Each structure stands twice: as structure tokens, then as C-alpha cells.
Structure 1
Amino acid sequence: MPRLILLNGAPAVGKSTLARRYAEDRPLALVLDLDVLRRMLGRWREDPSGAGLRIRSVAAAAAREHLEAGYDVVVPQLVGRVEFIERLGSVAAEAGARFDEVVVLDGEESLVSRFAERTRAAAEPEHVEAHELLAGGESALRDWHGLVSRLARERPQAVTVACVPGDVEATYRALLAAIGIDPVRRVRP
């Protein structure tokens, strides 16, 4: 059975890194990184909010098609609105796939440091854009951390994965265990 995995979490928590790592282990698994997809919309910066909503619709359609073909989909995205989470759950159900809602967590101070370091390094264009779009700076980042932490507590079907600072593989193994995949054999139960 294919899976649709939402990796929710505050900026710089490692969602995209975990999504890419998951795809490395699974043939034709699709990483639907909405920040990357949004950049493909013409003049998206003129209406970032509208572009975000539009790309969520595009991603839902792509996820449905890929799941129906029998392949896994991973969506690494900061989601503060429950409506999009529920939409992804519906897409998975309609495609006969399993939906894994995962919240990737890190401590607030660690997150602030990670975001600052990621912005300084600016390895990916979407990281620079995330910094530019984060109105309110550090205060807004702390607010996002609080929102994601609250969502993790309020959504009983969500599983949490704690970041292991500096150890992507350990965090990845924790993700696999949280969604019921043997992290050693990588076999679905």
C-alpha cells in the first residue's frame, strides 16, 4: 500500500532533508516540496499567499495521481492550517493509500540557531526565500515553533519525531520507526 507522508514542522527543522532521505530508499517515491514547486509559478512573489494556496492544489493533484499509481509521496511542509492536513488525508484515502501525519520537532532555541545558520549558508534558493518571507524574524519563528508544537498535541493521529541535532540518519531512523517501518530492514509491517 502506498503512503502519503506529511512531514510538518517549523522552518529549518529538517523536513526537506528527511523527505529526500526517505525517497533515496524507495523507488519512484515523490518528494512534493511546496517551497520548490511555488518557485515554478510565474511572478509568485507578487502574491505569495495566493501562490501558496495554488501550489497546494497542484500538489494535492500530483499526490493523488502518484499514489494511485502505487508510489509513495512525501510532503515536507510547514502546515499551520488543519484544512490542508485534512485535505492530504482525504487524498490518501481516495487513492487507497496510508496517510502518515508526522510532526518533526526540535527545541525552540535549537530551531532559532538552525534557521539562522541555514540562512547564512543559503545553500538552497528556497532557504533564502524562507528568510525573506518570514515577516517578524525570530519572533515569528518562535511563533511557528509554538503553533507546530500545539498542533502536535492537539492532533491525536499525528506522530512526533524529535530531531537528533547533527545526525540526519538517527532522525531518519526515528521517522521510520514512528510510521511503522523497521528502520533496520526498512520493511513495512
Structure 2
Amino acid sequence: MAETHLRTGHDVVMPQLATRVADIAAFEDAAARCGAEYREILLTADKVVAGARFAARSGSATEGIDVVIDRGGGIALVERIHDQLTAYLPQRPDCLVVPTNGRTSGQTYADVVALL
């Protein structure tokens, strides 16, 4: 589906949490087959901030993923994923990183748009 969209000259945004290079190879390959540019952007927060954000959030918008995270260990899972991302990032030298500590969602969005 992404390739069909790319071949018509449109952009594709894949909100994807990847912590292994193998997880994103198919996305990179699809972009290459279509002559499209592949960009990877990682929004980051310190481990303590990420855990606190998870603990503080509530609402129907995140309910489904929150159940999965809670079943996987809650804040301990968030911290494990943070460690995996920390190990993953050096393998992705072209990945653009947007720190989110102390930033509003609007500021973070503006940072992402500026990178694009």
C-alpha cells in the first residue's frame, strides 16, 4: 500500500516504533523501489521523563496501547524500550533526533516540521 502511494508522488508517514534495524528494512526497501527518500525521525525523552509520561497519561486515545504496555510490565517495559532505542540509535546515523524533554507537543511538532 505504501509503495502504491509513493509511486503516485505522495508522501507516506509511518508512525512506527523500531528498535532493530531489521524492523525497518522493508520500509527503506519500499522507498528505494519507488525512488522515494526515506527519512527516520526519533522523538526522544529521558528515561525518567518517558516513564513519568506513561504513568500520567489516561484517556481513550491511548487506552489500547496502554493495556499492551501494562501487560508487558508497565513502566519497566517503557524503560526497556528506552534502553533498546538507546542501543538502536548509533546504528542509524541518518536518523534525525528530536528531544522532547520540557517541550510542548506544539513545539515538538514544529521541530519535526522543520526537519522535513
Residue 103 (structure 1) aligned to one of 37, 42, 46: 42
Report how far residue 166 of structure 1 moved: 4.8
Gaps of 5+ in 2: none
Q: 1:123 aligns with which of 50, 53, 60?
A: 60
TM-score scaled by length of structure 1: 0.55
Q: Between Structure 1 and Structure 2, which shows a larger proportion of strand residues?
A: 1
1:63 aligned partner: 2
Equivalent residue for 1:153?
90
Local SS of the residue matching 2:18? coil
Q: Please state how far the C-alpha of 1:169 moved relative to its aligned partner.
A: 2.3
The answer to whether the 8 A contact 1:105-1:160 is kept is yes
Given candidates 159, 166, 178, the residue that maps to 2:115 is 178
Number of positions where the alignment pairs a residue of Structure 1 with one of Structure 2: 114
Q: What amino acid is aligned across from residue 150 of structure 1 in structure 2?
A: A
Say whether residues 1:88 and 2:23 are aligned partners: no
Counterpart for residue 74 of structure 1: 13
Q: What amino acid maps onto 1:109 in structure 2?
A: V
Give the gaps of 5 or more residues in structure 1.
1-61, 180-189
Structure 1 residue 164: Cα displacement: 4.9
Distance 2:9 2:28 in 1: 16
1:112 Cα deviation (Å)?
Answer: 0.8
1:129 counterpart letter in structure 2:
G
Q: Is the 8 Å Cα contact of residues 105 and 161 (structure 1) preserved in structure 2? A: yes
What TM-score comes out, normalization by structure 2 length? 0.86
CA distance in 1, matches of 2:47, 2:101: 14
Q: Structure 1 residues 165 and 75 mapped into 2: Cα distance closer, same or farther (>3 Å)?
A: farther
Cα distance in 1 between the residues matched to 2:100 and 2:22: 26
SS of 1:74's equivalent in the other structure is coil
RMSD: 1.6
| Contact kept? 1:66, 1:73, Cα under 8 Å | yes
> Do the aligned residues in 2 keep the contact of 1:152 with 1:159 (CA within 8 Å)?
no
Counterpart pick for 1:132 among 47, 56, 67: 67
2:106 matched residue in structure 1? 169
| Paired AA for residue 89 in structure 2 | A
1:99 aligned partner, one-letter code: Y
Tell me by how many angstroms 1:165 deviates.
3.6
Moved over 3 A (4+): none
**Residue of structure 2 in register with 1:24 after alignment:** none
